[in-house]
Structure formats: structure tokens, C-alpha cells
Amino acid sequence: MRTCPIAIPVLALLLAAATAGQALACGPRAEVLFTEGAPDSFEIVNRSPPGWEIESLQIDLRGAVGGLYFDPTEGGAGTSMPDPLRPLGSPDGGTVRLVGASPVADGDTALLLAFEGFAAGARYILTIDLDNLGGGYANAVIEPGEFAGASLFARFAAGPHRAEGEGLFDGAGRAETLDNSACS
């Protein structure tokens, strides 16, 4: 019996297409964008395929080139204009709920947030003051380039499936997670 010479490449193409679809379905993503202002803000966007929700998200400033830290209270490590963590919610009136946040003291470099209802396509905004240890920048004004090297970590859920992703902030104050785990 002879094999059709076209059958093998077609079968390989169909298999590759099926695998690509599975990779996309298992590829949840979160994006965070920092904006300097009075107050400083973070916008979090769930860029996942439909069905994936963000369960938790951590912003870790330890690797930032600008020596960034949170400044939520008067006194302590902060330079000026402290502002505590203030959840502003979904700008589009969505159903995202912040259900937990790690305590943040002056000088802390990590913030862990827990969410419910953070569906694909949803956005959430929060404010908290940031200052820096120097590095050639004014202490109270954060330039987007100072974020380079800070990290982002997120956990996602889609029914019984779980995934995690992490990424680094770039010189524009933006980070996006990449899926670093297989769907389970």
C-alpha cells in the first residue's frame, strides 16, 4: 500500500494547528501599566482568552533599576505626598472585586492582590504612592524607565484549570505576564 505524499504534510499541518489552538487556550495573560501622577496609579488588564480569570497578582519592585518602593504613610522611607493603597475598581463598571491585599508599610517593595470576578478583558485601577532611592531621578517623581527590572507574577483560573505567569516591567512602566505553566 502506498502513502499519498501529500497526506503526511497535511497531517502535520493539522496537528500543528490543533496544538497551536491548545496553546492559545492555555495562555492567560495579565498586563499592568504604571502612571505617575497625584496619585500614582496601576491599571491591571486581563488579556487572557475567554474563560480565564486573574485570581491574584503580585508587583515586586526589588529588581527595579530606580530603587522603587511604596510610600503609603507619612514619615518613614517616603519622600513626599504619601498615598495609601486605594482600590478604584473597574473603569468600565465591571464586576472585578479586590478581595485581599497584603499590608504595605513605608519602604515595602512588594504588593500582593487577590481578586474575584476578574474576567478576560476586564480592567482594574488602584492607586498607591511610589518613591525611589535615587538612581539619577528625583525621589518623589517616578519616571517609567525606573521600573525596568521590577517583576509581575499572576495566578489564573479557568474552571478546574490553573496557570501562572510572570514578566518584567519594561522602560515604559509596563509589564505583561507570559504563561510559564501547563494547564492542569
Q: What is the spatial distance between Cα 34 and Cα 135, in angstroms, rounded to a whole number?
A: 18
Q: First CA to last CA across the chain, in angstroms?
A: 41
pLDDT in tens, 102-136: 999 999 999 999 999 999 999 999 999 998 876 44
Give the pLDDT mean for 65-94.
85
Q: What is the spatial distance between Cα 144 and Cα 173, in angstroms, rounded to a whole number?
A: 4
Of the chain, the percentage scoring pLDDT greater than 70 comes to 76
Give the pLDDT mean for 145-174.
95
Decide if pLDDT at 184 tops 80: no
